[in-house]
């Protein structure tokens, strides 16, 4: 199986020993507490779950700027997006060297991790701007990732952490949330060597289904990891539990048995386009996948990125040998009326736009909310039914 990123062994920061966790929770009661924002809490989950391996904790300002500028830290580790614990008020920890981190996303704000504080620094306005522009390629506050990042505060609390739980993800998604070690173990149990990963924050329609099958065949893989983001999204995106149900129904009915793993990970969407695509590759390499599908507008939002910028970044900015995982470059995929099947649009140069079944996201949402069936060429009926029920309930709720 493919090696983890940056090390021979995966280095998840979750404290596996139950007695050690109890000791740390008792210690937490004696430590200064810091209430994390959702972004820092998501970073803690990813550190604990091994997706951020081999990082040992939150970065300091120097490492964050180096990562933003050059995609590697001061020790030379290739890394595409700073992993930070940012706060608007670090004064609450009173200069302590060891602190308890509280989870903002769970009732009662329980302790999610213990951090050894190696530094507390202030990001200047110029440094915030630099990191924002390098990571997101934008400074526009209408960009959801930019708006979130620039609202987190300018105090950077660096240092290694020990993670005590996976926030709400294990509780809310017990059948779907999986850590990187758990996925590696399942891949090994399946006897798979080559595994293609498909990243999604949306439900999967016919085009996504066929894209996974195309990639599976093209790289001669043993299986597909459908790996969905379970954390916070922008307003208007479909909730994780609805996506989960729709994807599982599609896999159950339309994929050969024992060829797909449906899993999820606990992270908030960044909408950082190319940089986030590279981070997605790190996640999947750590989870044991040999290939990642990167398609049109991967991790994008609005018109902030070119349609294939997330593919170009791997060719133009990721150094040779920085990652072992390979990228399967996919074009926009749609149903061809001429060929009566789903194709990559680049493979049908003789087609005009009207030769494909193409629906905008807005049109799809309008049809589902109105109870109108989606074309069979666009979506499986069983999947569309799950989505339709969600949109109709949401619309009914808006009218109450």
Cβ neighbours of residue 333 closer than 8 Å, sequence gap 6 or more: 207, 208, 210, 211, 214, 295, 342, 343, 344, 345
Would you tell me how many other CB atoms lie within 10 Å of the CB of residue 110? 14
Catalytic residue among 98, 201, 296, 385: 201
Catalytic residue among 116, 154, 190, 202: 202
**Do β-strands 356-357 and 333-336 pair in parallel, antiparallel, or remain unpaired?**
antiparallel
State the Cα–Cα distance between residues 306 and 33, nearest whole angstrom. 42
Tokens of 112: 């999610």
Answer yes or no: 340 catalytic: no
State the Cα–Cα distance between residues 103 and 86, nearest whole angstrom. 14
Strand arrangement, sheet containing 341-344? 341-344, 333-336, 356-357
CA-based end-to-end distance of the chain: 53
Q: Identify the residue whose tokens are 């043993």.
A: 222
Q: Measure CA 265 to chain center.
A: 7
Answer yes or no: 202 catalytic: yes
Burial of 208 (0-12, 13-18, 19+ CB in 10 A): buried
Active site residues: 201-202
């Amino acid at each position: 199986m493919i090696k983890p990123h940056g090390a021979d062994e995966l280095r998840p920061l979750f404290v596996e020993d139950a007695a050690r966790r109890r000791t740390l929770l008792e210690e937490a009661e004696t430590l200064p507490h810091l209430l994390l924002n959702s972004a820092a809490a998501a970073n803690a989950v990813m550190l604990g779950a091994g997706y951020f391996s081999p990082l040992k904790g939150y970065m300091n300002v120097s490492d964050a700027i180096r990562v933003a500028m050059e995609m590697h830290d001061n020790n030379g580790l290739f890394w595409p997006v700073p992993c930070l614990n940012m706060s608007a008020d670090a004064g609450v920890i009173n200069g302590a060297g060891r602190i308890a981190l509280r989870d903002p996303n769970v009732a009662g704000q329980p302790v999610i991790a213990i951090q050894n504080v190696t530094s507390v620094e202030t990001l200047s306005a110029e440094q915030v701007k630099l990191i924002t522009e390098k990571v997101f390629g934008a400074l526009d506050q209408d960009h959801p990732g930019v708006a979130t990042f620039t609202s987190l505060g300018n105090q950077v609390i660096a240092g290694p952490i020990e993670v005590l739980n996976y926030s709400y993800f294990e509780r809310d998604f017990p059948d779907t949330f999986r850590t990187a070690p758990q996925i590696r173990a399942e891949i090994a149990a399946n006897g798979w060597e080559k595994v293609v990963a498909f990243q999604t924050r949306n439900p999967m329609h016919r085009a996504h289904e066929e894209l996974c099958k195309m990639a599976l065949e093209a790289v001669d893989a043993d299986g597909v990891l459908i790996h969905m983001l379970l954390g916070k999204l922008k307003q208007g995106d479909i909730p994780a539990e609805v996506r989960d149900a729709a994807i599982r129904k599609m896999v159950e009915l339309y994929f050969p048995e024992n060829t797909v793993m449906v899993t999820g990970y606990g992270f908030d969407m960044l909408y950082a386009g190319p940089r986030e695509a590279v981070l997605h590759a790190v996640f999947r390499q750590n989870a044991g996948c040999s290939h990642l599908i990167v398609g049109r507008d991967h991790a994008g939002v609005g018109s902030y990125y070119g349609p294939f910028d997330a593919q170009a970044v791997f060719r133009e900015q990721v150094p040779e040998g920085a990652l072992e995982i390979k990228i399967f470059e996919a074009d926009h995929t749609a149903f061809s009326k001429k060929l009566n099947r789903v194709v990559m649009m680049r493979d049908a140069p003789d087609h005009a736009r009207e030769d494909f079944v193409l629906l905008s996201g807005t049109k799809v949402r309008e049809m589902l909310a109105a109870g109108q069936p989606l074309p069979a060429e666009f979506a499986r009926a069983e999947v569309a039914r799950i989505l339709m029920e969600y949109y109709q309930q949401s619309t009914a709720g808006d009218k109450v």
